Amino acid sequence: MSDPVQGFSRFTKEEKIQWIARRYTAHPQQTEELLKKYWNADDQLQRLHDEFIENTISNFYLPLGVAPNFNINGDLYAIPMAIEESSVVAAASKAAKFWGSRGGFRTRVLGTRKVGQVHFRFPGDPGTLKAFVEAAMPAIMQDSEGLTRNMERRGGGISSITLRDKRNALPGYYQLHCEFETRDAMGANFINSCLEQFAATLVAEARTYPAFRDMDQPIEVLMSILSNYVPDCLVRAEVRCPVADLDQDFGMDGKTFAKRMVQAVQIAEAEPFRAVTHNKGIMNGIDAVVIATGNDFRAVEAGVHAYAARSGTYRSLSHAEISEGEFRFSLEVPLALGTVGGLTQLHPLVKMALEILGNPSAPKLMEITAAAGLAQNFGALSSLVTVGIQRGHMKMHLLNILNQQGASQQEKEYLIDYFRTHTVSHSEVMEQLNLLRNPG
């Protein structure tokens, strides 16, 4: 094991690559060549990418695809999706085309409030603390005016600040639970700046509050940070059609298909092991749009999965029912997204993806993203309850296997044609590839 490196962040990019390659890889020259192969030929564009994060050595590419034919509230979209998993874009596109002739996706934003909290300890009487917070509130609002002025001009700002007694969880623990409207910005920097100012004012006001005169440190702020759990930043997406309109494409009559779909969702609502995979399929669609539009997919994932467990049991995010002769399939999901700030103004492909979507507002992007998640869920479930998930997935995965084995273009063309009528499995692909390479 080599000694710890000192001053790594001050190395040039070339020096960082050499250091990594020579200490941690078996073939340093090949490593250096591979990393440089993924640099952008445009030096200005590469410098832009280098400055997104620290200690950059190369670029890590994901495929950027497009799922066309999304009819969302009567408008037609082609949705950019950045993802590496086979069959996701194909499934979303197929579902979009299917529902496009059946009224399309109906979406509606149910709320856009986001949350942040000041976490602090207070050792005294809760009634005294409540009176103090009420007295300090004018100062808290006044001291944050410089931070909120521009956001308020755009129709956003602070929605509410509430004292929460959390002593049942931890001794002496309280929160300022704060809600915000951030308009088209995701708002993380705005919210965190506000929270830190709230905390500073809270501490300063406590020093001169008469009832705290005999206390050395009445308010001990532990941290001030936004929450990625945003149950009031919520969007709904739905598709519906007469059960009779499901008679085609699924190899069974519409009534049977609809019942099987409803039962599949009921299982995901009742069984957490199934619900996790069920919701992962939804996130295949959502994350792909979130990444393509420069938003934070880790924050979205964390908030969505917390929402799925809000009842105390992890459940399906989507719902299905047969009512009044209609099959209805819907999704409600919290999505804190932005269309201004961050990578949306910096990353050229993000700017292009937003342009393809018509430069949507943040609420409109919520609706588009939810529709992509619902489409992906419908595509996955419709396969599961009919032919099974592997037929379509493995055919899309075939090229990955062939590329891993260094197949030539001629070998690829032959095997793609062969597996049009044969079941794809890794072992079968390897066997057929070996027969091609070693005939007789």
Domains and CATH numbers, the chain: 8-50 (no CATH), 64-111+231-388 (3.90.770.10), 114-227 (3.30.70.420), 393-437 (no CATH)
Per the residue annotation, which of 85, 220, 413, 431 is the catalytic one? 85
Which pLDDT does position 141 carry in this prediction? 97
Confirm whether 393 is a catalytic residue.
Answer: yes
Local confidence pLDDT in tens for the 440 residues of the chain: 568 999 999 999 999 999 999 999 999 999 999 999 999 999 999 999 999 999 999 999 999 999 999 999 999 999 999 999 888 999 999 999 999 999 999 999 999 999 999 999 999 999 999 999 999 999 999 999 999 999 999 999 999 999 999 999 999 999 999 999 999 999 999 999 999 999 999 999 999 999 999 898 899 999 999 999 999 999 999 999 999 999 877 788 999 999 999 999 999 999 999 999 999 999 999 999 999 999 999 999 999 999 999 999 999 999 999 999 999 999 999 999 999 988 888 899 999 999 999 999 999 999 999 999 999 999 999 999 987 665 555 666 787 788 889 888 988 888 888 887 787 888 888 888 888 888 86
**pTM as predicted:** 0.89
Q: Dihedral of the CA atoms 357, 373, 284, 262 (nearest 10)?
A: -160
- R_g over Cα of the chain: 27
> Using alpha carbons only, what angle is made at residue 333 by residues 332 and 336, rounded to the nearest 5 degrees?
145
Sign, CA dihedral 94-99-104-110, equals negative
CA 285, CA 271: separation in Å to the nearest integer? 22
User: Of 27, 36, 280, 422, which is the active-site residue?
Assistant: 280
Q: For position 419, what pLDDT does the model report?
A: 82
Cα atoms found within 13 Å of the Cα of residue 184, Cβ hemisphere only: 15
One-letter amino acid at 349 equals L
pLDDT on residue 252: 87
Active-site option among 16, 347, 393, 397: 393
Q: Are 155 and 181 in contact (CB under 8 A)?
A: yes
pLDDT at 214: 87
pLDDT of residue 414: 86
Indicate which residue of 296, 347, 367, 397 is catalytic.
Answer: 296
Give the burial class of 248: count Cβ atoms within 10 A of its Cβ; 0-12 exposed, 13-18 middle, 19 or more buried.
exposed
Is 280 labeled as catalytic in the residue annotation?
Answer: yes
- Output the pLDDT for position 37: 96
**Pairwise CA distance, residues 368 & 96, whole Å:** 12
Q: Given CA atoms 88, 90, 95, 96 in this order, what sign does their dihedral have?
A: positive
CA–CA separation, 386 vs 383, rounded Å?
5
Q: Is 395 noted as a catalytic residue in this protein?
A: no
